[in-house]
Amino acid sequence: MLANMEAVIETTGGAFPAHTYLLDGTNLVAYVKVGEQEPFYFKNPIKGFDKRGRKFIAGNTSLFTKEKASNAKTVIGSSGQTYTVTAESCTCPGFTYRGTCKHMAEHV
């Protein structure tokens, strides 16, 4: 599900809080604020996330795979990948880029 994704934790300090970011290449897909447990997923990834001049350490992608609520369901997509679907979101690439997907309509 998150095979091509990278989780990084900001260690720059100063004006940059130590949030954990989920990246797909240079696209920012989601983040978890410092001191919180729930990730915030962008409807459309923020393109061109620039790490220059900032410091990061490897993070744990498992922060982004936990089911948010009891109404979360796991579905198998057409490519055989598994995704987590809730009334608000889906972890599939279609939802990541369009903000909607067929999994939400079919399974929630």
The residue ranges of every structural domain in the chain are 1-66, 67-108
pLDDT for 1 equals 46
How many angstroms separate the CA atoms of 63 and 23, rounded?
13
Taking only the tens place, the pLDDT of each residue in 4-41 is 789 999 999 888 889 999 998 888 988 999 888 888 88
How many angstroms separate the CA atoms of 92 and 75, rounded?
10
Picking from 83, 38, 86, 87, the residue whose alpha carbon sits closest to that of residue 64 is 38
Is the pTM here over 0.75, yes or no?
Answer: no
Bigger pLDDT: 100 or 56? 56
Taking only the tens place, the pLDDT of each residue in 74-100 is 788 888 887 878 777 788 888 878 888
pLDDT for 68 equals 45
- The stretch 61-84 carries a mean pLDDT of 72
Question: Amino acid identity of 45?
Answer: P
- Given a cut of 90, whether residue 106 has pLDDT beyond it is no
Please, are residues 7 and 21 in contact by the beta-carbon 8 Å criterion? yes
Q: Which residue has the tokens 């992608």?
A: 61
Residue 107 banded pLDDT, cuts 50, 70, 90: low
